[in-house]
Amino acid sequence: MQISTFVLQTIQMDTNVFISIYLDTRRSKANNKYPVKLRVFTKTPRKQKLYPTVFELTENEFKSIWLTQRPREEYKESRLKLQAIENKANETANKLNPFSFENFESKLYRKNGDGGNVFYQYEVIIKKLKANKQIGTASNYELSLKSLKNFIKYDKGREAIKIHFIEITPNWLAKYESYMINTMKRSRTTVSMYLRVLRTIFNNAINDKEIESEIYPFGKRKYQLPAQKNVKKSLSKSELKILFDAQPRTMEQQRAKDFWFFSYNCNGMNIKDIALLRFENIQQEKIIFYRAKTINTGKTDLRPVTIYLNSFAKSIIEKYGNKNKKPKALVFPIISDEEDEIMNFKKIKNFTRFVNQNIKALSIAERMTAEISTYWARHSFTTTAIRNGASMEFVSEALNHRDMKTTQGYFGGFEDESKKEIMDKLMNF
């Protein structure tokens, strides 16, 4: 049996989207009634979806309630409720440009006011990130949301159920920043990360037409994110030699040292990318791979990273690599294909912590910096390569940066000896 064509009025949102109330007569219920559904139809692509309502009616009841211009008194309440369903669908679809069924469904079935609720928008993005297997980014959003809720509880003295975008003003953000730095003793890097996430929430809400751009609290003459200090994160040539020649006190320190210098020798590759390496990425003494960080964010300009393996990098693969060298096999036993994304995310995080803790212990034992981490390997690669004569363009490509300013931020500057040598040669003409 075909879907009933009983319909009072089709309201055209634009030339492509049509919304109406339908009686689905394909199959009757046990009470001999049919489900009343919301019908959404698009011409391009030609697609129809039916959404359930709470109504079940006979064909005669549907005619009396929906297909008549003036329903009897006993049917007026049902008529108004059906009109409310259709009106809400129309309003929802009107705000979507372009229209998509996915966005339509997410907005149609949420509670009134959710669109302007910052907490709700956080949860929507976190859910999308997890579905897209971006576990690390989702974790950053969860930490930002937790910090936001903690501040509101601290400020108001009670748990926060919601906060509307309009409540977050430049003054509010300045107060939130002060709370994180002075009360919670968060680093400026952490504060900046949390606030960048919140700024992204605002930008998404504006793009989705959930809020007006006039209430945007960030930017010039409004609230500006705290500037991050340009803290040294690279080792000098002499410091690299000291660390490389250092004798580890434990097997753990040896393993950490090996992987730290493997990262350094592989264009400053981060631990996640090292963990995700497969033998198919190793081709003719080169590693060719896509950074996990850019697979989702740079789909329109996705470029592979090419690393030429030196003897040290090869020795680490030989020393710690898996015995199974089939193309699809993982190079290192850091994660497992048998585990899900969340478990492997935790394993990568734990291995990064393991390397950081032990390379720091080794550095301190050699009376060097206590701030060293895996991140320093990337900065040290950049700085050493440039000091050895590599162009900024070469290093930018090696790091897979799209913006030269990002690469410049990794460069630790020139050592005093290099500066002195340059100055001494100024008159050599």
Binned at pLDDT 50, 70 and 90, residue 244 comes out as very high
Separation CA 382–CA 393 (nearest Å):
11
Q: Mean pLDDT for the chain?
A: 87
- Of how many residues is the chain composed? 429
Query: Can you give the pLDDT at residue 232?
Result: 66
Is it the case that residue 225 has pLDDT exceeding 60? yes
Q: What confidence category does residue 34 fall into, taking pLDDT thresholds of 50, 70 and 90? A: very high
Residue 185's CB: how many other CB atoms inside 10 A? Answer: 8
In the chain, what are the domains? 11-108 (no CATH), 114-215 (1.10.150), 237-421 (1.10.443.10)
The pLDDT of residue 304 is 85
Per-residue model confidence as pLDDT tens digits over 308-367? 899 999 999 999 999 999 999 999 999 999 999 999 999 999 999 999 999 999 999 999
Segment 7-34 shows an average pLDDT of: 79
Q: What is the pLDDT of residue 303?
A: 81
Percent of the chain with pLDDT over 70: 85
Give residue 209's pLDDT band: very low, low, confident or very high (50, 70, 90): confident
- In this structure, are residues 122 and 51 in contact, taking their beta carbons and an 8 Å threshold? no
User: Where is pLDDT greater, at 256 or 420?
Assistant: 256
Asked if 177 and 226 touch (Cβ cutoff 8 Å), the reply is yes
Residue 341 to residue 385: CA distance in whole angstroms: 34
Residue 10 has pLDDT above 50, yes or no: no
How confident is the model at residue 298, as a pLDDT? 54
State pLDDT tens for residues 260-301: 999 999 989 999 999 999 999 999 899 999 988 777 665 556
Q: How high is the pLDDT of residue 65? A: 95
Structure confidence by residue, pLDDT tens digits, 295-304: 766 555 678 8
Looking at residue 301, what is its pLDDT?
63
Q: How confident is the model at residue 1 (pLDDT cuts 50, 70, 90)?
A: very low
| Cis before 52 (ω within 30) | no
Reply yes or no on whether the pLDDT at 408 is more than 70: no
pTM over 0.75: no
Average pLDDT of span 88-97: 87
Identify the pLDDT of residue 406: 54
- Each residue of 152-181: pLDDT tens digit? 999 999 998 899 999 999 999 999 999 999
**Selected residue with higher pLDDT from 365 and 415:** 365
